[in-house]
Amino acid sequence: MVEYRLLGNINSPADVKALPFEELDALCAEIRTELIRVVSKNGGHLASNLGTVELTVALHRVFDSPNDQIVWDVGHQSYTHKLLTGRREQFSTIRLEGGLSGFPKSRESEHDAFIAGHSSTSISAAAGLAKAKQLNGDPHRVIAIAGDGALTGGMIYEGLNNAGRACKNLIVILNDNKMSISHNVGALARYLTLIRSKPRYFKLKDDTMALLSKLPLVGNPLKKAAYWLKRKLKAAIYSSNLFEDLGFDYLGPIDGHDLTSLCDVLSRAATLQKPAFIHVRTVKGKGYPYAELDPAAFHGTPQFDVATGNPEVEDGDSFSQAFGEELCRMAQEDSHICAVTAAMKYGTGLQMFAASYRDRFFDVGIAEEHAVTFCAGLSAGGYRPVFAVYSSFLQRAYDQLLHDVSIENNRIVLCIDRAGVVGADGETHQGLYDVSFLTSIPGIHILAPSTFAELRACLRYGVYDCPRTCAVRYPKGGEPERALTYTQYDATQFGLLSQRADTLFISYGRAADAFVPLQEALGKQADFLKLVRLYPFPEGLVQRLLHYRRIVFVEESAQNGSIGEHLLRELNGLGYRGAFFHRALGNEFLPQSSVKTIFQEYGLDAASLLRDWEGDVFHAD
């Protein structure tokens, strides 16, 4: 690790409190240097963390973590928090196998109050923690930091609606990095904001209210009148009193890079006997010019050169890119095709569609539930909606798929990106569960292309030929360099290599890539089947498998509810008497690790399969 004059001596929040206040700006500069250095080597979330450096330092200056609990939303803003809470020496391992997580994890540190890999959960979780403290007679505070798009998710408003009336020890901080929440313009608004961030304002306010309370007869009426007048004046000037209507004491907006103002306002919030809502304005990418100019590019970034801001390894063609290009071609031919994303335009490859077909592109924010029902409405209105979404985020919309889409067969296409193992993002982002929960949706068709050509064919099948809702799932990254050449092949159904052996290997998606070297090693000793349509199984296919003495099913999915389990049930229903071996990724949460390492650990790679073949693991009858 680089030696830092100040950061090198920060081993706990107590060390932040012990620094002279005039040293805090220098500490922030050192933190930014370390963030840029490590993320440039490991990849990760840079722009959002650069924007919350001063805010995080102020939090640990004012509050007493872990007694005061801090809940991050989204958790990828928490890198500075990790640096200040005893993990400085391990920080260079962030997102690496066996290293620090890129998100808060309570198992990693007592300072991480709640896991936060997905968005818009902070206020609900913090409200629960705050209520638990109240019930226990614990006077400490719970602070929820909501930002980087969290307020586009509906769950956060459910939390606000309940927390503002019930949790007097809750502080909500809105990290506003140019989200469209409010436009407080004008000299008077700016001046009042400056005044209201000063301790002397708070003291005068408290002294005035205390004096009014002591006046006989007229004191309380005057106090209520002053409170009413203040609220009306604020509403007129700031054009919004939503948060106060919900029961919060609104403070702000505050310059999120001014440590004096931040510490003053946080200290004030800590003294209130009611929930507080602090509006903090920050600059995403603050302190690194390339990230400030293009925060989207440095939101989740691969390794990059610090001097130029350029990625050290350029991304090649990917399934996301191939999807976006094909959807644009289809949209040019068909004016009824619409594209929907939940704040992941770039991640899902829809930036080209957004530029070319603005009227038919809809970014609904971090609101997957709304996105699915919105697509159902588009379908009911005669359009062909395609919702591009990460596998781990689609989990949030299960109810909408079941109720709003499936019952009345509102046909939509789900393009499920990052299906399978994702690597460095770890437990919160592994795309292992979509197969399991989608197979419970009546009538749904699930497809898993393993090449770009198959992806293009599957997308067209889903839009035009599939009789029900269609889910097309594909992994992060690109297609394999080599694929099996099948004697019987349908790009949207299956590929089957001969029917000569008594052992059959079956797989789909990226896991089927292992069959290329495996087939070369085994030759005619085994047959190979690659499923493209996973569910329901292509007509007549299951019956064709009955003559095999041994079937080995390999899949990159959680085991419970997997395609292998469904296939075994159908085989047994037809009287299958052979041996069935199933390789999947178990039913535990997978930590951050490379795809290669996880495949090896669970025996999904070609070397492991060949080793087990030679060791007669698959030969036991």
What is the Cα–Cα distance from 456 to 236, expressed in whole angstroms?
A: 54
Active site residue 284: yes
DSSP letter assigned to residue 564: H
- Look-up: residue for tokens 């708070």? 202
Short-list 398, 400, 371, 399, CA closest to 387: 371
Active site residue 550: no
Residue 185 neighbours by CB distance under 10 Å: 9
Backbone φ and ψ for 529, nearest 5 degrees, come out as: -125, 125
What is the Cα–Cα distance from 78 to 6, expressed in whole angstroms?
A: 19
What is the Cα–Cα distance from 78 to 72, expressed in whole angstroms?
A: 7
Tokens read off for 311: 């990625």
* Active-site residue, selected from the candidate residues 54, 368, 369, 479: 368
Backbone φ and ψ for 361, nearest 5 degrees, come out as: -110, 130
CB 591 within 8 A of CB 610: no
* Complete DSSP assignment for 107-132: TT-TT--S--SSSS-HHHHHHHHHHH
Residue 620 neighbours by CB distance under 10 Å: 8
* Active-site residue, selected from the candidate residues 32, 196, 396, 418: 396
Active site residue 396: yes
Crossing angle of helices 122-136 and 154-166, in 10° steps, is 20
What is the Cα–Cα distance from 469 to 446, expressed in whole angstroms?
A: 9
Amino acid at 362: F
Alpha helix (H) residue ranges in 360-475:
368-380, 391-394, 398-400, 434-438, 452-460
CB 102 within 8 A of CB 59: no
Residue 333 neighbours by CB distance under 10 Å: 7
What is the Cα–Cα distance from 55 to 612, expressed in whole angstroms?
A: 53
Q: Is the peptide bond before 295 cis (omega within 30 degrees of 0)?
A: no
CA distances in angstroms from 357 to 162, 306, 362, 370, 473, listed in the order given: 40, 35, 10, 21, 24
User: With helix as H, strand as E and coil as C, how does 521-549 read?
Assistant: HHHHHCEEEEECEEECCCCCHHHHCCCCC
CA distances in angstroms from 50 to 39, 88, 299, listed in the order given: 11, 16, 10
What is the Cα–Cα distance from 389 to 344, expressed in whole angstroms?
A: 7
Q: Give the chain's count of helices (H) and strands (E).
A: 25, 18
Tokens read off for 488: 């019987």
* Active-site residue, selected from the candidate residues 82, 105, 284, 583: 284
CB 543 within 8 A of CB 590: no
Amino acid at 353: F
Residue 234 neighbours by CB distance under 10 Å: 17
The three-state secondary structure class of 296 is coil
By annotation, the residues acting in catalysis are 284, 368, 396
